[in-house]
Structure 1
Amino acid sequence: MTSIYDFSMKSINGVNKNLSDFKGKVLLVVNVASQCGLTPQYQGLEKAFAKYQSQDFAVLGFPANEFEGQEPGTNSEIQDFCRANFGVTFPMFEKIIVKGKDQHPLYKYLTETEPTAQKKAGEDFEEVLKGYGIRRENQKDILWNFEKFLIGRDGKIIARFAPNVTPDDPMLIQAIESALK
């Protein structure tokens, strides 16, 4: 695999979607969950999508349940939750596995291509999780819900951001705006 465009995924309502349909757009790929302390990031993701959509930007949400069971819902329940609570209109995909032995090939590609996430200044989220007894086995693994991959118009990964780098964080906004130029 040479870019994100080589993958085909199922949308949250079960329709096959080639990621090549997003060619030429800047993408923010995010593993999401409905019962996480970071779930309010849905609001910021939707706000970023609304702000930059006209410049060929999209957020792609991938629900995952690998982190303390914080995404137990069905695809239909997840979609209803996102719409009702956060007005989500950006593309959402079916629930997938983002780490471990059954890791989806898309996330295997993402984590192997960009093994390290940029951290929020002055705040090491991995250390916070360790304080709760949560440790990741492999350094390349997705750390937690709401980890983000910024993809350029060419389908290549520009950067990976830690889960606590919120959609309105200046570091992420600067990276998005730079990619859109």
Structure 2
Amino acid sequence: MSSFYDLKPLDKTGQPYDFAQLKGKVVLIVNVASKCGFTPQYKGLEELYQKYRDRGLVIIGFPCNQFAKQEPGTDEEIASFCSLNYGVDFPIMKKIDVNGDNTDPVYKFLKSKKSGLLGFKGIKWNFEKFLVDKNGEVVGRFSSVKTPESLEPEIEKLL
């Protein structure tokens, strides 16, 4: 994978979501789960999205069931949960793996560009976040404990 903009993950309906449409935008990518202690971060993510989307912020959620099986639902159930419980309007993709042999190409790319704490490449838990600038460069990686609200200064600088 040569560029962030070459990626084409599947959306919740199984259709390709071409990252080329994200050129010139700031993107926050999050691996999400509906039954996690960090699930309330959906509220903060949606607030960030509503506040900055007109200025070019796109948030994309990738459901993942690899951490204590905290995302057991179907793609349709996950999308419904996000909408009904948190009013999520940002794109939610098809459920993927973020670690292991079946790691989605998006996460292979992100992890190759930005390692975690102490050089750890793998995703440690749900709601880990990657921030991508307007040129498709991965400029930040944040742990699950970092709230969406705390990323606002970083996002402001990039917009």
TM-score, normalised relative to structure 1: 0.85
AA matched with 2:134: R
How far apart, CA to CA, are the structure 2 residues paired with 1:3 and 1:38? 30
Judge conservation of contact 1:4–1:155 (CA < 8 Å) in 2: yes
For 2:158, the equivalent position in structure 1 comes to 179
Map residues 38-53 of structure 1 onto 2, 5 A cutoff. Answer: 38-53=38-53
> How far apart are residue 6 of structure 1 and its match?
1.0
How far apart, CA to CA, are the structure 2 residues paired with 1:47 and 1:19? 22
For 1:134, the equivalent position in structure 2 comes to none
For 1:106, the equivalent position in structure 2 comes to 106
Runs in 1 of length 4+ with deviation above 6 angstroms? none
SS in 1 for 2:21: helix
How far apart, CA to CA, are the structure 1 residues paired with 2:122 and 2:4? 18
> Are 1:15 and 2:15 an aligned pair?
yes
Judge conservation of contact 1:27–1:58 (CA < 8 Å) in 2: yes
Task: Structure 2 unaligned segments of length 5 or more: list them.
Answer: none
RMSD: 1.4
How far apart, CA to CA, are the structure 1 residues paired with 2:2 and 2:56? 21
Task: Structure 1 unaligned segments of length 5 or more: list them.
Answer: 119-137
Question: Bigger CA drift: 100-109 or 67-76?
Answer: 100-109
For 2:143, the equivalent position in structure 1 comes to 162
Map residues 24-173 of structure 1 onto 2, 5 A cutoff. Answer: 24-116=24-116, 139-169=120-150, 172-173=151-152
How far apart, CA to CA, are the structure 2 residues paired with 1:42 and 1:2? 31
SS in 2 for 1:29: strand
SS in 2 for 1:163: coil
Judge conservation of contact 1:117–1:160 (CA < 8 Å) in 2: no
Aligned residues: 159
Residue-by-residue CA offset, 1:49-105 (whole Å, 9 max, x unaligned): 000001011100000011000000000000000000000000111001001121111
Judge conservation of contact 1:117–1:159 (CA < 8 Å) in 2: no
Bigger Cα Rg: 1
AA matched with 2:136: G
